[in-house]
Chain A
Amino acid sequence: MYIVEMQKVTKIFGELVANDHVDFQLRKGEIHALLGENGAGKTTLMRILYGLYQQTTGDIFIDGEKVTINSPKDAIKKGVGMVTQHFALVPPMTVAENVVLGYTDSFVLDQAAIEKKVGEAANQFSLDINPKSIVRHLSVGQRQRVEILKALYRNAKVLILDEPTAVLVPQEVDSLFETLDRLRKDGLSVIFISHKLDEVTKITDRVTVLRDGKSIGTVDTVNVTQKQLAAMMVGRDTFGVTRQTEINPDNKKILEVEDLCALDDKGLPALKNLKLSIRSGEILGIAGVGGNGQKELAEILSGVKAPISGVIKINDKNLVGKDPSEFSKMGIGRIPEDRHEGVVGDLTVYENLALEHLDEYSKNGFLDKQAIRKNANELIKNFQIKAKPTDRIRTLSGGNMQKVLLARVLSRQPEVVIAPQPTRGLDVGATEYVRQQLLEQRTRGAAVMLISEDLDEILSISDRIAVIYEGEIVGTINAQNATPEKLGLMMSGALREKA
């Protein structure tokens, strides 16, 4: 008997069939991956199981009993917990308060008592977390642990994790996997959504693949290779991207950054005299463990954050002190690190596509709707975005949202492209696509900055690699001379290297 069984589950949004007669079975004590391209319907299926959506047709069984799940509250009662990418925690409250929130029998909260109870639960599940900490002060990985604890505290037997690793740095991923492994041994069943095939083969027992809302099948993880999984997902073989020719060393330096200093949100130094430059037709990879200043660097180069000192020059023109619209006018194409901060969810796709260059899409203050729609239709076609121009961005899958942002930037042929984590949350096909796009920008002569925590990504398309550590560039090496080991040493601050 399965702990969860979904039979012929169909979910229709308007005209769109997001899940099409999906069968899904979860065994007790297994980690089960849900794999599929962006927009394949993974999140939708899980939202149905967690009561956030109701299926149009189909049945759900838990422990062999047919159930109806109308709300997350029902789901929790039936032992199903879910951790979404956007955490539902109250930042000013303590871990203990967050964990018991909405799940206490008494009206009055006894701080000491709940802290003790939550602490015991954390011990029981070996989750390293202090119940007294204020959530606001926790890292993303720690917050995720609080969410997991919250679900387990409510006696979840089934835990749904929707792209839990997308927001984590590598060390946090390792610790998450240790936790999941332990919980699996205790009999917890986990549904794990990820686009990273190496994670899927590493941690899961079985894999179910969705394509275009349909289930393609379920396989035992030990019997498949990553390549086979990728082929199941996209319905064809995938090829990695290949780097092209060497760059001409005489190419002009387009972007130059010198002595850049900045503070992070807490007011602590995030960048210390950072210096780098990128030539036309070059991809500079910025490698580093998350939280070493990458976020601040990307924000400053996007114009949304001001440095405390330093020089940023594009074609010898100074950019410091300019606002975001001037950054983009002067030729910087900016992709936001958090895509929810780059699109307005309640506006339509075509409105979002026009938002950055409204001057061009309006005459005498009036919107040129025809031009806006034409542009949107073209970009949707060229960038293979799975959406209609009039769809609200909020209803797009994560990958398609990312494509909208890419389309908005790359279609303008910017001289400099700032790409922080551009493939985060993207499926294999879309990742390949984005990397290909960045390579095309390079061929076109753009200077591309690729900020990524994924070493494979950095190694596969960069010309030069700069390693960032505690807000400084500790070394820049040519991609030919780079090995993961060497980069790893530099990223840990153990090795410094001059270009």
Chain B
Amino acid sequence: MENNEKPRWRLVKTDNPPFWVKPLIPVLALIGTFILTSVLILLADANPFDAYYYFLFAPLENKVSLLEILVKSTPLMITGVAVTYAFATGYYNIGAEGQLYAGAIAATGIGMSMHGVPAIVALPLMIVGGFVAGMAWALIPALLKVKLAVDEVVTTLLMNSVMAYIVSAILNGPWRDPNSGWPQSPDIAPSAVFFKLIPRSRLNFGFILAIVLIIILWIVMTRTSFGLKMRAVGLGKPAAKFAGIKVNRTILTAALISGGIAGIAGVAEVAGIHFHLIGEISPGYGYTGVIIATLGSLNAFGVGLAAMFFGLVDTGAQTLSRALGVPVYLGEVTQATMLLVALGVLLLQRYRIRRM
């Protein structure tokens, strides 16, 4: 019989991966990414080890770039949290990008009319306004989902493109800067600007907001009955329905919360970084939020860590290009590679290698 195969290394599926696997994932992802991108770095006439030093370690060595990491991770944490609410409930909201812009428009509109209004009134108004706007933008796909079972992945994604046109229409129409003629809104009132946490840096109140949202996410998911309802619906709709949970209402609520929080990301960018609305307020934070929620395995602290890591990579890409004169998009390629590798490693964690 041909059963006498020699022992060799094989991948074997395991049901419960050992506890030390999780922390290893980013490390493995990094090594994999390093190997894959080294070729490109060599082609750009740089030393891969140097490059990675500038990419991942140099930003941690001085205060300015350290703060910059926190600045960059702020919108990512918020969109990551936003997406987590939806995904945990089994509602695949890919529309955080559009919802973010909805929030940014609201924040700009409110912010511009806050001249003479104290910050204590202006800031809450903008945050609430951004939340409501994000929610409103998330409403149509959510209603289509629960009333007509229309797939939300498609609708939320389409709504992003619609939003891009709306933003461009506003910036080229009513809000076009009368002086420069640029598609850029007038600035918001000074009292509507998020205060700085550290003088002469870009780190602002938005970061605190993001941390608070992460803590709230953690509390909601682990401590509240609504959190348990969301998880039950996300993990087993029929059983949740049988147990008397109002499945559609839970999905609708989660979808709206998700949209609202994505809207707050828009507020934080307008009030904390740009102070006016432009078309490029988000280089895809909404989409990155999907990745961060997934990499953070829908866990509040996982989301926080994943966002910080992306903040680091973002900052590092710039340090790298400045230091070695390689194109900035090398950073982007590296980020994309890392993403794919990380997702691969996430899948592989359910396997173990055995010699048999």
Write the residues of chain A forming the contact surface with B, with a CB cutoff of 8 angstroms. 13-14, 53-54, 62-63, 65-68, 70-71, 78, 302-304, 323-328, 334, 336, 340-347, 351-352, 354-356, 358-359, 361-362, 365-367, 369
Partner pick for B225 among A54, A68, A361, CB 8 A cutoff: A361
- In the complex, chain B residues 104-158 whose Cβ is within 8 Å of any chain A Cβ: none
Partner pick for B239 among A323, A327, A341, CB 8 A cutoff: A341
B242, A342: Cβ atoms closer than 8 Å: yes
Q: In the complex, what residues of A have CB within 8 A of residue B1's CB?
A: 63, 65
Known: A344-B235, A345-B235. A71 touches B13 (CB 8 A): yes
Q: Does B317 contact A (CB under 8 A)?
A: no
Partner pick for A13 among B4, B10, B16, B241, CB 8 A cutoff: B16
Partner pick for B228 among A78, A334, A342, A367, CB 8 A cutoff: A367
B244, A325: Cβ atoms closer than 8 Å: yes
Q: Can you pick out 24 interface pairs between chain A and chain B where the beta carbons lie within 8 Å of each other?
A: A54-B354, A67-B3, A304-B241, A324-B241, A325-B246, A336-B239, A341-B238, A344-B235, A344-B236, A344-B240, A346-B235, A347-B235, A351-B232, A352-B239, A354-B228, A355-B239, A355-B243, A355-B245, A356-B244, A358-B228, A358-B245, A365-B225, A367-B223, A367-B228
Q: Does B61 contact A (CB under 8 A)?
A: no
Q: Does B180 contact A (CB under 8 A)?
A: no
A352-B227 Cα distance, complex, nearest whole Å: 14
Write the residues of chain B forming the contact surface with A, with a CB cutoff of 8 angstroms. 1, 3-4, 10, 12-13, 15-16, 223-229, 231-232, 235-236, 238-246, 354, 356
Please give me the residue from chain A that is nearest to B3 by CB atom.
Answer: A65
Please give me the residue from chain A that is nearest to B10 by CB atom.
Answer: A70
Closest Cβ–Cβ distance, residue B85 to chain A (whole Å): 15
A365, B224: Cβ atoms closer than 8 Å: yes
Partner pick for A53 among B15, B226, B356, CB 8 A cutoff: B15
Please give me the residue from chain A that is nearest to B232 by CB atom.
Answer: A344
A54, B3: Cβ atoms closer than 8 Å: no
Please give me the residue from chain B that is nearest to A344 by CB atom.
Answer: B236
Q: In the complex, what residues of B have CB within 8 A of residue A367's CB?
A: 223-225, 227-228
Partner pick for A70 among B4, B12, B231, CB 8 A cutoff: B12
A323, B246: Cβ atoms closer than 8 Å: yes
Q: In the complex, what residues of B have CB within 8 A of residue A65's CB?
A: 1, 3-4
Known: A68-B356, A70-B356, A346-B235. A356 touches B243 (CB 8 A): yes
Closest Cβ–Cβ distance, residue B144 to chain A (whole Å): 22
Partner pick for A355 among B16, B232, B354, CB 8 A cutoff: B232
Q: In the complex, what residues of B have CB within 8 A of residue A354's CB?
A: 228
Closest Cβ–Cβ distance, residue B260 to chain A (whole Å): 18
The list of the 9 closest CB pairs from A to B, nearest first, reads A325-B244, A344-B236, A362-B225, A341-B238, A324-B244, A355-B243, A358-B225, A356-B243, A346-B235
B225, A366: Cβ atoms closer than 8 Å: yes
Closest Cβ–Cβ distance, residue A348 to chain B (whole Å): 10
A336, B242: Cβ atoms closer than 8 Å: yes
A14-B17 Cα distance, complex, nearest whole Å: 11
Q: In the complex, what residues of A have CB within 8 A of residue B243's CB?
A: 324, 342, 355-356
Q: In the complex, what residues of B have CB within 8 A of residue A362's CB?
A: 224-225
Known: A14-B16, A67-B3, A70-B356. A343 touches B239 (CB 8 A): yes
A71-B351 Cα distance, complex, nearest whole Å: 12
Q: In the complex, what residues of A have CB within 8 A of residue B239's CB?
A: 336, 340-344, 352, 355
Known: A65-B3, A65-B4, A346-B236. A328 touches B244 (CB 8 A): yes
Please give me the residue from chain B that is nearest to A324 by CB atom.
Answer: B244
Closest Cβ–Cβ distance, residue B134 to chain A (whole Å): 22
A78, B3: Cβ atoms closer than 8 Å: yes
Partner pick for A343 among B236, B246, B354, CB 8 A cutoff: B236
Q: In the complex, what residues of B have CB within 8 A of residue A303's CB?
A: 244
A369-B222 Cα distance, complex, nearest whole Å: 10
Closest Cβ–Cβ distance, residue A226 to chain B (whole Å): 35
A369-B227 Cα distance, complex, nearest whole Å: 13
Please give me the residue from chain B that is nearest to A63 by CB atom.
Answer: B1
Closest Cβ–Cβ distance, residue A157 to chain B (whole Å): 13
B3, A351: Cβ atoms closer than 8 Å: no
Knowing that A336-B239, A355-B228 are A-B contacts, what are 7 other residue pairs whose CB atoms are under 8 Å apart, sorted by A's residue number?
A71-B12, A323-B244, A328-B244, A346-B236, A347-B228, A347-B236, A366-B224
Please give me the residue from chain B that is nearest to A339 by CB atom.
Answer: B239
Q: In the complex, what residues of A have CB within 8 A of residue B224's CB?
A: 362, 365-367
Please give me the residue from chain A that is nearest to B227 by CB atom.
Answer: A367
Closest Cβ–Cβ distance, residue B149 to chain A (whole Å): 15
Please give me the residue from chain B that is nearest to A354 by CB atom.
Answer: B228
Partner pick for B12 among A13, A54, A66, CB 8 A cutoff: A54
A362-B3 Cα distance, complex, nearest whole Å: 58
A345, B12: Cβ atoms closer than 8 Å: no
A70-B8 Cα distance, complex, nearest whole Å: 12
A328-B242 Cα distance, complex, nearest whole Å: 10
Q: In the complex, what residues of A have CB within 8 A of residue B4's CB?
A: 65
Closest Cβ–Cβ distance, residue A219 to chain B (whole Å): 31
Closest Cβ–Cβ distance, residue B354 to chain A (whole Å): 8
Q: In this complex, which of B1, B224, B238, B239 has the most chain A Cβ atoms within 10 angstroms of its Cβ?
A: B239
Please give me the residue from chain B that is nearest to A65 by CB atom.
Answer: B3
A342-B238 Cα distance, complex, nearest whole Å: 7
Closest Cβ–Cβ distance, residue A260 to chain B (whole Å): 20
A355-B227 Cα distance, complex, nearest whole Å: 12
Q: In this complex, which of A62, A68, A302, A345 has the most chain B Cβ atoms within 10 angstroms of its Cβ?
A: A68
